[in-house]
Amino acid sequence: MKVLSFLHAALRRKIFQSLLAAGLCLAAGLAGAQTDSLKIGIIGTGRIGGALARHWAGAGHEIVISSRHPEELVELADELGPKVRAATSREAAAFGDIVLVSIPYAAMPQVGTDFAAELQGKIVIDTSNPVERRDGPMAREWLAKGSGVASRELLPGTRIVRAFNCIPAASLANEGNRSPARLAIPIAGDDVEAIVVAERLIDEAGFDSVLVGPLEAARRFDLGQPLAQGPRTAAELRSAL
């Protein structure tokens, strides 16, 4: 039975990768021609969200950063330039065509409920991790499902890509474009366009994306899982896959 399960899983991965490769070729052709700035909302501008805001501001994107206390982010917004402003989380969700969600996972149900209208149909890059000591006993249920599946349920109607959840904040802030080989960011998602956009933003932050599979495969790089051990280069991560 274990052998059959493994074979079925391998077949699903191969079918997904074949279909996705065709879609990525089309989408990448369009994205490759796009050098225009993106509108990005960041819900949760802590160490991860703050580091990415800095990278993406440097790439010329328009960004709204937010937290429970947006007044504390005004200095950071001023530092990052005229295309960045601090606001409420609702305003960030409404502003962004792409929304980064980087929050304690226990807040994910509230974000999905409170900002359902603002997030509907949008690309969401989800960095958040269920951690039981912080998020309570529900973290066990979310991890049992896998974070990708849990986030898809908690943020219905969005186009989620799991990314940036298993790189230390210090590495994310300071090790972009590391030489001789950049660090890898494992990602998972079901939507081709969302994956292409996430890959562009990962590249602009100074890292290499490695597609692990659809959202159900995101469990492979949940905290504590083998693919979350790192940091690694893209070649090392692909070898681990």
pLDDT tens track for 22-53? 455 444 444 444 569 999 999 999 999 999 99
Prediction pTM value: 0.87
- CA 105, CA 133: separation in Å to the nearest integer? 11
pLDDT at 194: 98
Q: Spell out the domains of the chain, with CATH numbers in brackets.
A: 36-240 (3.40.50.720)
Distance from CA of residue 174 to its chain's centroid?
Answer: 18
Band (pLDDT 50/70/90 cuts) for residue 20 is low
pLDDT at 144: 96
- CA 96, CA 215: separation in Å to the nearest integer? 22
pLDDT at 230: 81
Mean pLDDT, the chain, rounded, equals: 90
> Mean pLDDT across the stretch 126-134?
97
pLDDT at 241: 86
**pLDDT above 90 coverage of the chain, percent:** 84
- CA 89, CA 68: separation in Å to the nearest integer? 7
Residue 143 pLDDT greater than 80, yes or no: yes
Side-chain half-sphere CA neighbours of 83 within 13 A: 17
Residue 131 pLDDT greater than 50, yes or no: yes
Q: What is the maximal distance between C-alpha atoms in the chain?
A: 58
Residue 81 pLDDT greater than 70, yes or no: yes
Q: Which residue has the higher pLDDT, 116 or 31?
A: 116
Region of 174 (left: φ > 0; alpha: ψ -120 to 50; beta: rest) is alpha
**pLDDT above 70 coverage of the chain, percent:** 85
